[in-house]
Chains A and B, each alone.
Chain A
Amino acid sequence: MTGGTARQAEPGTWEPARTTVAEPILMPGIDGPWSKVRQSVSWRGHAVVHGYWQQWLPAALADPELRNLLGSRDWQRFSGLTDPEARSRFAASRLMVRYAAGAALHVPPDSVELAYKPGGRPYLRGCDQVDVSLSHTKDLMVVGLNRRGRIGVDTEVASRRVRYASVERQLCTPTERRHLTALPEPERERELLRIWTLKEAYTKALGQGMRMGFSQFGFGPDGTTLRTPDGREVGEGEWSFGTFWLPDSYLISVACQDAGLESGGDTAVGTMLDEGFLGEVVDLLSHRDGR
C-alpha cells in the first residue's frame, strides 16, 4: 500500500481505566456541592454520592410536583408504602437520584426521567450516557453514576450482626469461606459484610438484583478483584470494586465497569444530538413545511 508506514500487528491489550473507585461525596441537600459530582464524572468517569434522607426530606415534601417528579411507577410504589419512614426515605432517595443525574447531564433535576428495566435496574430514560444505581438503608441514601459502563452501589449498617454460620453457604464461594474461617471473629464479620455488599453491588450493576447466585462468583481477599468460585482471578479487568466505611457506621460498596467506549467526557444533554443530523432534518422539515 502506497504511503503506508510499517503496520503494527500486535495492538497490545486494551487497558481499562482500572483506577480505584472514587470516594463517596457527601451531599447534605439539594444545594450541592454538585460541581464535585460533575467533576468526578468528567475526570474519573464515575461518581458516588451519599446523603441522609432526613436532610433531604423537607425539599422532597415541599415539592408541589412530587407526583410528577416521581413519575407513574415510582408514584405508585410511593403511594403503596404505609410506613411513614419508608415513604420519606423513598421520596428523598428519588429526589437525590434526580439531582445527581441532573448534575451529571447538566440539566435541571426535574427534567430527568427515572425509569426501570424489567429486572428492576433504574435508568435515565433517553439519556444512556450515564448509568445509575441507588441504594438506601436506615438513614443513608447512596447514588452511583458512571459514564463508562454499568455501576452498582449497595449500603449497609456497618454494625449489622450477621451470623456467619447461617449464611456462609448462601453468600460465599468455597475460597471465600476458607479465607473467612481463618479470620478472628470481629474481622470475619466485617469481611463478610464487605463481601455481601460487594456482591449486591455487582449484581445490581448487572441489573439482576438477587437473581444471581452469590456463591457463583467471589472476590479476592482485598475486595477489589472478581474471582471464580474456586478462587481464580477473572481475566478481563473491566470492573473496579471498592468498599468505604463511613465515620458514622455505614459502609458503601461499589461495582464500576469500564466497557471500553471512551466517550471523551462530555455527558451534557445539550450537546448530545449531532448537529449535522439534527440540523439537516430540521432544515428538511422546515422546507417541507414551507417556512
Chain B
Amino acid sequence: MPAPTSTGQALVEESVDDRVARLERRFGDPADPANPLGFRALLAADERHELLGAAGELLDAEGFGAELVPAALGGRLVRADTLARFLRPVFRRDIALGFGHGITSLFAASAVWVSGSPEQQRSMARLLRGGGRATIVHRSLAHGSGLLAGEVTASHRDGGHRLTGSKDMVINAHRADAMVVYARDDPAGRPGTGTHSVLVLEPGQLPPGRLLMLPRKATNGMRGCYFGGYAFEDCRIPDGALVGAPGDGVRLALRTFQLNRSLIPAAVIASVDTVLRTAVRAALAGRGGGIGGRHRPLLAGVFADLLACDAMATAALRSLHLVPEGAHLAAAGTKYLVPDLLRDDLEELATVLGATGYRRDGSPGDDERGALSKLLRDLPAAGLGHAGTAACQAVVIPQLPLLARRSWFRAAEPPDAVFRPGAPLPPLDLGGLGLAGGDDFLAAALTATARRIGDRRDLGEHGFALKTLAQAFTGELWKLHDRCREPAAGDRAALSSPEMCALADRHALLSAAGAVLAVWERQSGADTFLADPAWAVLALSRLGGRLGLALPGPPEACVDAVLREAVGRFRAGISYDLYAAPLAEEGGGP
C-alpha cells in the first residue's frame, strides 16, 4: 500500500479525532448526576441488571455497528487502533455496555470477516450495519469458568450438519440475530486434522423446537449484560453455514482472537482512567488543593501504568497491520498482562477513595465509589479471569524455546511506525495474520532501544535512571533466554509446568518494557510530556518491581513530573492515555 501523503494523513486523523470527540461529547460528563448517560444513570441500570437503554440508543444513532464492519463490506473498520479509540468513550463509562452493546458482535463476526463466503460476509455486514447483534458460542476452554464451560458438537450425516449440546452462558443469547458457533466435530466423522468447525447461523432459520433458549444467568460482573444460553437438540443446520473449511475452528480462533486480545485491554484502559480521575479529584480536595504524602507516588504510579498499558496495547494493535507474522505474541502478552496491571491499579486507587462495595444511598461521592465498585466486579468478568490468562499462556509458552533459539537478540527491529500512535497504517487484514512463529518484535524493540539510549548523552536529568532500567531489562531478557532454551519446543509435559508459566509472565513484563521504551523513544526530542523520560522511568520501575529486579526506587523528580501531568490533565479534562484526548468533563477548575 502506498504511503499516504502527509495532508491525507492529517485528514484521516482529524476525522478519527472528531468522531471520538463527538461520541465523548454526546455521552456528556459522566460525573454529572443530572446526565441521563452519566454514572448515576449507568449504576442504576446496573442495579436493575440492565444496560442503560439511552446509552445503547446513542451508540445506534452514532452508527456504532458500522465501526465493526470492514470498509470493503461497507463499514468503517479500517484500523484496529482507531476502533480501540472509538471504544474508549464507551468503556470509560461502562464495560458491560462495551461488551453487551458493542464488541461481542465483532468477536463473533471476525471469523466471518476472515474466512466467510462472500454471501456470509455480505449478510453479516448488512446485519451489523443495520444495528443487529451477533453473538459467539465459544468452544470449551481449559479451566473455563461458567462463561466458557460447555460445548456444542457438530455431526455430519444425511448430507448436512447437526448440532447437539448446550452452552450455558452466551452473551445476548436472547436477542442475537446471528450466532457464530465454535462446534466440536464429532470424532467419528471428523473431516480434517482440526477438532472444531465454525458455523454461522441465524436463529430464525433453524428448524422449530431444536434450539432452546436457556434461562438468563446471574453474574457478579457485567451484570447489566444478558447472559442466556443455548441448547441444541439434534438441530439440523441449513446448508452454507460452515465458515471456512471443516476443522478450521481452532486456527480461526488463534487468528481472530488476536484482534480481541489487543482491543479489550486497549479499551479497558479508559475504564481505569475514570477512576484515576476521581482519585485525583479526591486527593486534591484534601489539603488545600495540593496532593501530599502517600498519594503522590500512588497516583503518579497508576498514571504511569496506564501509559505503559497503552504503549503495549497500541503496539499490539498496530502490529496487526505492520507485523502480521508476529502480532499473535504481542496480542497474547497484552491480554495476559494489562488486565492484571489494571486490576492492581484499581485496588491501589481504592485506598484513596475509601472502601468499596457499599450500597449507594445518595451520600456525597456515592456515584464515584459505586463506579469503582462496579468496575472491580466487571473487570475480572471482562478478562475472563484465570481461563483468559491461561489461554494466552497456551499460545506464548510453546513459542518461548524457539524464540530463545532464534529470535531474541537476533531479530531485526519492527517498523518504526509500530510505536507511533496515530501514524498511518495499511488497512487491517485479519486473514494475513500469522498464528505462531515469527519474531518477537517487542523483545527486538527492547534490546535495540536499550542499546541506542545507552549511547545517548542528551537525556536530561532522568537519563541515568532510564539507562539503568533499560540495561536491567536487557539483562533480564538474557536470563529468560538462558532458561527458555532447555525444553524442546514440542515437549508438552515440560511446557505445562509452573516454571514455564512463570517464564511467560516474565516475558509479558519484558514485552511491556520494550513497548514503553520504544514508544518513549519515538516521542523524545519534542517538547512534550511524553518526550520526557519521567513517565517511562516510573512505568519501568514498576514493571521492574514485578520482575523482582533489584533496582533503586524512581527519582522523586520523576514522580513529581508525572503527578504534575496527572493533575494538569485532570484540570484540563484530558484523557490519561497516549492520545491526550479531550473529555466531556469540565475539568477541575484552575
Chain A interface (Cβ within 8 Å of chain B)?
1-5, 7-16, 71-73, 76, 105, 107, 111-113, 115-119, 121, 124-129, 149, 206-208, 211-213, 216-217, 226, 228, 232-236, 238-239, 258-264, 266, 269-286, 288-289, 291
* Among B206, B209, B357, B380, contact of A261 (Cβ-Cβ < 8 Å): B380
Cα distance A273–B219 in the bound complex, in angstroms: 25
A274 touches B391 (CB 8 A): yes
A261 touches B499 (CB 8 A): no
- Chain B hits for A260, CB < 8 A: 219-221, 377, 380-381
B505 touches A117 (CB 8 A): no
- With most chain B CB atoms within 10 A of its CB, the pick from A149, A206, A279 is A206
Closest residue on chain B to residue A276 by CB atoms:
B250
A208 touches B216 (CB 8 A): no
User: Is residue B351 contacting chain A, with contact meaning CB distance below 8 A?
Assistant: yes
Interface of A is mostly: loop
B486-506 CB mask vs A (1 if < 8 Å, else 0) is 000110100111111111111
The 24 sampled A-B contact pairs (Cβ below 8 Å) are A2-B206, A11-B216, A11-B218, A117-B545, A118-B301, A126-B500, A126-B501, A129-B390, A213-B354, A260-B377, A261-B221, A269-B497, A269-B498, A269-B501, A271-B142, A271-B143, A272-B393, A272-B496, A273-B393, A277-B250, A279-B250, A281-B435, A282-B490, A288-B436
A235 touches B498 (CB 8 A): no
B144 touches A282 (CB 8 A): no
B149 touches A289 (CB 8 A): no
User: Is residue B141 contacting chain A, with contact meaning CB distance below 8 A?
Assistant: yes
B347 touches A280 (CB 8 A): no
- Chain B hits for A274, CB < 8 A: 141-142, 390-391, 394
Other than the given A269-B501, A271-B142, 16 more pairs (CB < 8 A) read A3-B210, A4-B174, A10-B216, A111-B498, A125-B501, A125-B506, A128-B386, A260-B220, A260-B381, A264-B144, A266-B143, A272-B496, A279-B250, A281-B395, A282-B490, A291-B490
Cα distance A81–B201 in the bound complex, in angstroms: 65
B360-394 CB mask vs A (1 if < 8 Å, else 0) is 11000000000001000100110011110111011
A285 touches B385 (CB 8 A): no
Asked whether A262 and B216 contact (CB < 8 A) given A278-B492, A285-B490, the answer is: no
- Chain B hits for A263, CB < 8 A: 143-145, 385-387
Cα distance A105–B390 in the bound complex, in angstroms: 14
* Among B147, B174, B223, B390, contact of A7 (Cβ-Cβ < 8 Å): B174
Cα distance A228–B369 in the bound complex, in angstroms: 12
Closest residue on chain A to residue B489 by CB atoms:
A285
Closest residue on chain B to residue A283 by CB atoms:
B193
- Chain A hits for B548, CB < 8 A: 71-73, 115-116
A262 touches B145 (CB 8 A): yes
A111 touches B497 (CB 8 A): yes
- Chain B hits for A234, CB < 8 A: 355, 357-359
User: Is residue B196 contacting chain A, with contact meaning CB distance below 8 A?
Assistant: yes
> Shortest CB–CB separation between residue B99 and chain A, in angstroms?
15
B203-231 CB mask vs A (1 if < 8 Å, else 0) is 11111111111011111110100111000
Cα distance A281–B435 in the bound complex, in angstroms: 7
B498 touches A113 (CB 8 A): yes
B395-407 CB mask vs A (1 if < 8 Å, else 0) is 1011100100000
A107 touches B497 (CB 8 A): yes
Cα distance A113–B502 in the bound complex, in angstroms: 7
Cα distance A113–B250 in the bound complex, in angstroms: 31
Closest residue on chain A to residue B203 by CB atoms:
A1
- Chain B hits for A281, CB < 8 A: 254, 394-395, 398-399, 435-436
> Shortest CB–CB separation between residue B505 and chain A, in angstroms?
4
Give the 9 A-B CB pairs with smallest separation, nearest first: A260-B220, A126-B501, A235-B359, A217-B355, A261-B385, A126-B505, A126-B502, A274-B142, A14-B218
Residues 483-539 of B at the A interface (beta carbon under 8 Å): 489-490, 492, 495-506
A72 touches B550 (CB 8 A): yes
B347 touches A207 (CB 8 A): yes
- With most chain B CB atoms within 10 A of its CB, the pick from A228, A275, A276 is A276
Cα distance A208–B344 in the bound complex, in angstroms: 10
Cα distance A262–B381 in the bound complex, in angstroms: 11
> Shortest CB–CB separation between residue A127 and chain B, in angstroms?
5
Closest residue on chain B to residue A102 by CB atoms:
B498
- Chain A hits for B211, CB < 8 A: 2-4
Cα distance A276–B208 in the bound complex, in angstroms: 33
User: Is residue B546 contacting chain A, with contact meaning CB distance below 8 A?
Assistant: yes
> Shortest CB–CB separation between residue A72 and chain B, in angstroms?
5
> Shortest CB–CB separation between residue A131 and chain B, in angstroms?
10
> Shortest CB–CB separation between residue B480 and chain A, in angstroms?
12
Cα distance A60–B377 in the bound complex, in angstroms: 39
A7 touches B395 (CB 8 A): no
Closest residue on chain B to residue A206 by CB atoms:
B347
A261 touches B145 (CB 8 A): yes
> Shortest CB–CB separation between residue A269 and chain B, in angstroms?
5
Asked whether A285 and B398 contact (CB < 8 A) given A212-B351, A263-B143, A270-B496, the answer is: yes
A259 touches B144 (CB 8 A): no
> Shortest CB–CB separation between residue A111 and chain B, in angstroms?
5
User: Is residue B348 contacting chain A, with contact meaning CB distance below 8 A?
Assistant: yes
A288 touches B218 (CB 8 A): no
Residues 134-158 of B at the A interface (beta carbon under 8 Å): 139, 141-147, 149
* Among A2, A7, A264, A273, contact of B203 (Cβ-Cβ < 8 Å): A2
